[in-house]
Amino acid sequence: MHSTLTEHARCRYGDEYRPAVVPQCAEDRDDRHFIESLTFADAEAILAMLHELCPNIVDGLLPVWVRNLAYRLALLQRPDDPALMREAAQNLRMHGPDWDDIAADLEHNATSLEAS
């Protein structure tokens, strides 16, 4: 078993900055195990994974769908965190115009939260 979500993600998807050297990596080639770990991770573990594996948002080897899901799960746990909303919005804008309306909503919600 992996000791952290970041370690599991590194094994499953790779890391631009560090090699995956954990022996379990060869055994874990199924997304469902990682997604299960992600689903039940707390916001701190999710954000640690995103910040370590994708420190500049445009980099990293995590698939975009994993990033989007990770931010969504973190936002569900921290619905009143404007900084996280803005970070998630920036991620959505960087990875395609398909989610620009969602990014705009997140930014609007962050501004509204800060104003209240």
pLDDT tens for each residue of 4-42: 999 999 888 888 888 756 556 655 567 888 999 999 999
Q: Inform me whether the pLDDT recorded for 67 exceeds 60.
A: yes
- Parent domain of 22: 5-115
14 vs 7: CA distance, rounded Å: 10
pLDDT, residue 3, reads: 86
Average pLDDT over residues 91-101: 91
Instruction: Tabulate helix, strand, coil % of the chain (nearest 5).
Output: 70, 0, 30
Q: Is the dihedral of CA 84, 33, 94, 101 positive or negative?
A: negative
Across all residues in the chain, what is the average pLDDT? 90
**Residue pair 85/106 in contact by the 8 Å Cβ criterion:** yes
d(CA 89, CA 79): 14
Q: pTM to 2 decimals?
A: 0.91
Q: Could you give the number of structural domains in the chain?
A: 1
Residue 17's pLDDT is: 84
